[in-house]
Structure 1
Amino acid sequence: MASEQADKAVLFYESRSFNYDDSWHADFTKRFAAELNIQTGRHVLDLACGTGLLTFVEADIVGPSGHVTGVDVTPGMLRVADFKKKKEAGRYANVDFHQGDILKLQDIEEVKGKQFDVITVASALVLFPDPKAAIEQWARYLKPGGVLAVDSTHPRNLVPGMVLERVARRLDLQVPYNREWSQNEGSLKIVLESAGLEVEKVITIESQAGYGKRQYDLEQWDDFFVENVIVKDVARTFANNDIRRKAQGLYKEEWERLAVNGKVEEIDSVFLGVARKPADGSKHIPCSSSNEVVLEGGCRCGGVRYTSTQQPSNVTFCYCRACQQVSGSGYLPFYHVESKSLNFTHTSTLKTLGLSKFADRFFCTGCGSPIGMKYHFEEEKHVTGLTLGSLFFDTFKGNMPKVVQHIFLGEKAPWITVPDDGAKRLQTFAYAERMGLE
């Protein structure tokens, strides 16, 4: 019996089966396979194989002495895949296809009890609400030392669909994709490691569909709303007229939140992760500094949530005019973590603004909470500053950081008295001069 998620996937992909190959997917699967070191004679399991685009590429690589098994839940996709196999007149005797829910591989007789050298999942991980649980199940079908390869989306990939997902979340509706967790290469690395695999690499594949980057105008929200909610809503998620009216207003709101200088940017990139099952067949346990969540934080209304696997740095109090204005106070306290350890788990109200040469700031558009900043100067590009007020102290595993410096005191509000706490005091900041801020 298929899961509810699988049923939605069938509705979503069945109508696309016969023109699926006439898209960017054909080129992307070749690039996907090129990042893997698949050897001749290997046995490969290609999950969510669709029309077999990646399956057939892998079959050519493993050769007649190897074998590739493709599994997909959509009948139309598999009909196309079987037709392509028959058309090749015996070339792909080393390929077989099976219909089934890839979250229930134990129900597929031809797969049950087997283990494979390589498992691939292309353009499908974001279909599942719990990516860690999905990868954990798939890893059971890996031989010790076997490799799993999977990709996830850039947060600005296919922006109209991302906006639709946020609208559905706000209306407590289900859509057949779940992308909010995938924010950067680190997000995918954390998911793979938490599922017990040892990550060999996570890379960014640029121009997945071939256009790189593009920008949309603010008023284009309505065109995309009609396309996604009226035309393409095959799962009938927004079938109710009252729901559609609510969704229309929310879609416009979420679209406008993404705009910078009146434009919404789309980035045509994905993150590809390659991870290995330990040679002894055990679960890989990464060191706690790269795996264990040690703190959580977010805004007041819940629209922004983050986690970090790194202990926070000590605290800097910033008294600059920008921090005064965005906080409505005399200063903002910041702590820092490496950007690769930071994962934004909820971003429905997250807004990024470039208010100075110094950094881009993150805010919640729902409640106005300042969240943090990403620096522009080279020495600190690898770290993200987070406001101390956004830290959830009851989740924090460690010693509370101490105040070590007060910066931009030259812009200090006249009513503020700086505490005599022995911390360093600076009129500006160490990198201000080279950034041209003095």
Structure 2
Amino acid sequence: MTSSTRLSTIEAIYNKRAPGYDSEGGFHPAQAADYLKWMDLKPGQHVLDLACGTGAITVPAAELVGSSGKVVGVDISGDSLVIARSKAEKKGISVAFVHHDIAHLDGLEEIKEGSFDVISCAAAFVLLEDSASAVKGWAKLLKVGGVMIFDVLTPNSMVANWVLNVVGDKLNIEVNYGRTKLDSVKKVKALLTEAGLDDSDTFVSDSYSEKEVDAKDPGGMFEDMVGRKGWSESVHSGFLDPARKPLAKEMFCKEIEKLADKDGKILEEMKVIMAVGKKV
């Protein structure tokens, strides 16, 4: 899959997801609130919210920095931005929303090097094809003393999704996220230090939720994941190829069995590695 095709696929997924995103529930509302707490915004600050989606962080951030501050939200999903703009307009808040690829921000009028106090990217970092290059580019946009904050899921979060990613890597099946590339605090910190940022404030979040997954039927788990409809229909479409599906399913089952206890259960925790990089 070419980069442009991959980006178009991601855009289509989030355009489909946009109308119901705010009512999906899950951990995203709590995570957005945590982001705003961790960002510790002050009046007058300049904020860049990448993959801003429907504005769950962007709009409250604009309220916190006030009229003396500046907030720019960037997202590849035009439909998500329509919702975000509507939220800002209803509150009478000024936010510059930009429909663009967050990995390539050069030349955008609203975004200049050395101009942001805080850069955030919530629940979207694993969608980047070249995360190291993106972080280096974002680091240039920070002021000295500015902070970049983004997250990646831990391996024991959304376990079936994680295992599909593992299998996809082994069989060279295209996935729209790269969870296995950043599966430890060490790897996440390396991205920050390679971009010239201080990584010392990086941490693992508390668990947003915890549940015991019944893994006695891993084949059924596989079919459920790859056969989903709606906005997620194209997320795992590569696993539906008749020439690849049987082996992919077999490998998925073996990986799930490795993780399950003697009762066929897997403890799943919703945690994220919070990358916090400061420009010194």
TM-score, structure 2 length as denominator?
Answer: 0.89
2:109 aligned with 1:109, yes or no?
A: yes
Tell me the secondary structure at the aligned position of residue 86 of structure 1. helix
**1:74-85 maps to which residues of 2 (within 5 A)?**
74-85=77-88
Tell me the secondary structure at the aligned position of residue 15 of structure 1. helix
**Cα separation, 2, equivalents of 1:15 and 1:226:** 22
**Cα separation, 2, equivalents of 1:265 and 1:131:** 29
User: Which position in structure 2 is the counterpart of 1:321?
Assistant: none
1:46 Cα deviation after fit: 0.4
Tell me the secondary structure at the aligned position of residue 252 of structure 1. helix
Tell me the secondary structure at the aligned position of residue 223 of structure 2. helix
Code of the residue aligned with 1:270 in structure 2: it is: V
**1:118-267 maps to which residues of 2 (within 5 A)?**
118-208=118-208, 211=209, 213-231=210-228, 232-235=232-235, 236-261=237-262, 262-267=264-269
**Cα separation, 1, equivalents of 2:112 and 2:193:** 24
1:109 Cα deviation after fit: 3.4
Q: Is the 8 A contact 2:215 2:221 kept in 1?
A: no
Tell me the secondary structure at the aligned position of residue 161 of structure 1. helix
**Cα separation, 1, equivalents of 2:60 and 2:6:** 27
| Structure 1 runs not aligned, ≥5 long | 279-438
Code of the residue aligned with 1:273 in structure 2: it is: A
User: Which position in structure 2 is the counterpart of 1:34?
Assistant: 37
Code of the residue aligned with 1:227 in structure 2: it is: D
Higher helix proportion (structure 1 or 2):
2
TM-score, structure 1 length as denominator?
Answer: 0.58
User: Which position in structure 1 is the counterpart of 2:68?
Assistant: 65
User: Which position in structure 2 is the counterpart of 1:96?
Assistant: 96
Q: Is the 8 A contact 1:12 1:176 kept in 2?
A: no
2:53 aligned with 1:50, yes or no?
A: yes
Q: Do the aligned partners of residues 226 and 107 (structure 1) sit closer, same or farther apart at CA in structure 2, a change above 3 Å counting?
A: farther
Larger Rg: 1
Q: Do the aligned partners of residues 277 and 227 (structure 1) sit closer, same or farther apart at CA in structure 2, a change above 3 Å counting?
A: same
**Cα separation, 2, equivalents of 1:241 and 1:80:** 38
Tell me the secondary structure at the aligned position of residue 273 of structure 1. strand
1:126 Cα deviation after fit: 1.5
Range moving further from structure 2, 188-197 or 48-57: 188-197
Code of the residue aligned with 2:38 in structure 1: it is: E
Q: State the aligned residue count.
A: 272
Higher strand proportion (structure 1 or 2):
1
| Structure 2 runs not aligned, ≥5 long | none
Q: Is the 8 A contact 1:142 1:277 kept in 2?
A: yes
Q: Is the 8 A contact 1:47 1:71 kept in 2?
A: yes
**Cα separation, 2, equivalents of 1:195 and 1:79:** 33
Q: Note the alpha carbon deviations across 1:4-62, whole angstroms, 9 max, x for none.
A: 44223213322211111122312211111211232210010000101110111211211
Q: Do the aligned partners of residues 106 and 248 (structure 1) sit closer, same or farther apart at CA in structure 2, a change above 3 Å counting?
A: same
Q: Do the aligned partners of residues 84 and 128 (structure 1) sit closer, same or farther apart at CA in structure 2, a change above 3 Å counting?
A: same
Tell me the secondary structure at the aligned position of residue 266 of structure 2. strand
Kindly report the root-mean-square deviation, in angstroms, between the aligned alpha carbons of the 2 structures.
Answer: 2.1
1:78 Cα deviation after fit: 1.1
User: Which position in structure 2 is the counterpart of 1:373?
Assistant: none
2:274 aligned with 1:277, yes or no?
A: no
Q: Note the alpha carbon deviations across 1:229-255, whole angstroms, 9 max, x for none.
A: 111341532342222233222221221
Q: Is the 8 A contact 1:105 1:112 kept in 2?
A: no
**Cα separation, 1, equivalents of 2:4 and 2:28:** 25
**1:15-26 maps to which residues of 2 (within 5 A)?**
15-22=16-23, 23=25, 24-26=27-29
